[in-house]
Amino acid sequence: MRFVDEALVNVRSGRGGNGLVSFRREKFVPRGGPDGGDGGRGGDVVVRADPGLKTLLDFRYRRKYAAGDGASGGKNRRTGRSGADLVLRVPVGTLVMTEAGEALADLDAPDAELMVARGGRPGAGNARLALPWRQAPDFARKGGEAETVDLRFELKLLADVGLVGLPNAGKSTLINRVSKARARVADYPFTTLVPNLGMVSLGLNASFVVADLPGLIAGAAGGAGLGLQFLRHCERTKVLVHLVDVASGADPVQSFRTVERELAAHGAGLEGKPLIVVANKVDMPGTEAACEALRGLAARRGLPFHAISALTGAGVADIVREMARRVFAGRD
């Protein structure tokens, strides 16, 4: 399934049905009077969070949505049928905004919903408009107009832990190791093109969600690589795990700072989130010096540090315990 985390849609509520002008015409009722019925209510448009959805893909193929219009009133004071409401279902974690970017609601819980366009009011028939001093009105009221709104949907994944790092740092291998996720793994940059989610189970009904986020590169916050597209998915996490490949031959401290700068440039509080520094691929020969350099950086910053091999599993149990401790900190 293709992952889509942004969409633009145009929605229209239903128009209210018109009231009817009608008079009773019966053989043995000489003074029948007005009997025009009211129109039906126009349908509302509601956006609702559906826990069964994981992507905004459906909205890429269809952009315009409309609720049902109310029907006009009938004779004998019959009220017109109301228009059907329209419910747009989006994944939990979807931010609903105006086209200009003004936030309307954050649907971050299952079944959370927002009415985005209210249906037109029903029109009044001439039977309803009759008054003691106006017993035979020859007019009716039209139904209310529909509302048309342009909306922007932006999905931000609901994950407890976000795995960040340069391409090929081993994030996909780690999420596959600690959860039942099946992220694609290969030895070339940008293997991961979409975020992957995995559930880490600790037993006794304790679990948390980890997100493997596509690799960041220098300039990601400004649009380079894939980072700008997916940095938003870090915003809801409780803790970030920064993986550094100590077997690549690159300066591990510089690699760490590259990603750190992009997180800070994106803003939204990413630079202040709890951070765990992880040296990955320590099973490879000649990684000792790079691992110690990264360990020293973490010590100077007062950050927790772990050396692991996501491939062999060495040290992974320790990092899982560290993640859990941070995620469940403050809970009873």
Taking alpha carbons only, the member of 215, 208, 207 closest to residue 184 is 215
Average pLDDT over residues 203-232: 60
For 1-155, which CATH class?
mainly beta
Residues in contact with 254: Cβ distance below 8 Å, sequence separation at least 6, in sequence order: none
Q: At what angle do helices 316-327 and 171-178 cross, to 10 degrees?
A: 80
CA 275 from chain centre, in angstroms, equals 24
Taking alpha carbons only, the member of 44, 122, 41 closest to residue 82 is 41
Provide the pLDDT for residue 288: 92
Going through 99-147 in order, the beta strands assigned E by DSSP cover: 103-107, 113-117
Each residue's pLDDT tens digit, 9-40: 999 999 999 999 998 877 766 667 899 999 99
At position 195, the amino acid (one-letter code) is: P
Q: Would the pLDDT of 218 be above 70?
A: no
Each residue's pLDDT tens digit, 185-209: 445 344 444 667 777 888 666 788 8
Provide the pLDDT for residue 178: 85
Each residue's pLDDT tens digit, 277-324: 999 999 999 899 999 999 999 999 999 999 999 889 999 999 999 998
Each residue's pLDDT tens digit, 139-159: 999 999 999 999 999 887 777
Provide the pLDDT for residue 58: 84
Provide the pLDDT for residue 190: 42
Provide the pLDDT for residue 295: 94
Provide the pLDDT for residue 181: 55
Q: Which H or E run contains 298?
A: helix 288-301
Q: Which pTM does this prediction carry?
A: 0.68
Residues in contact with 214: Cβ distance below 8 Å, sequence separation at least 6, in sequence order: 190, 192, 193, 194, 195, 225, 226, 227, 229, 230
Residues in the chain: 332
Average pLDDT over residues 212-222: 55
Q: Would the pLDDT of 258 be above 50?
A: yes
Provide the pLDDT for residue 135: 84
Provide the pLDDT for residue 244: 92
CA distance 310 to 171: 8
Q: Would the pLDDT of 219 be above 50?
A: no
Domain ranges of the chain: 1-155, 161-327
Q: Would the pLDDT of 250 be above 80?
A: yes
Provide the pLDDT for residue 3: 55
Determine whether domain 161-327 maps to CATH 3.40.50.300: yes
Average pLDDT over residues 80-92: 94
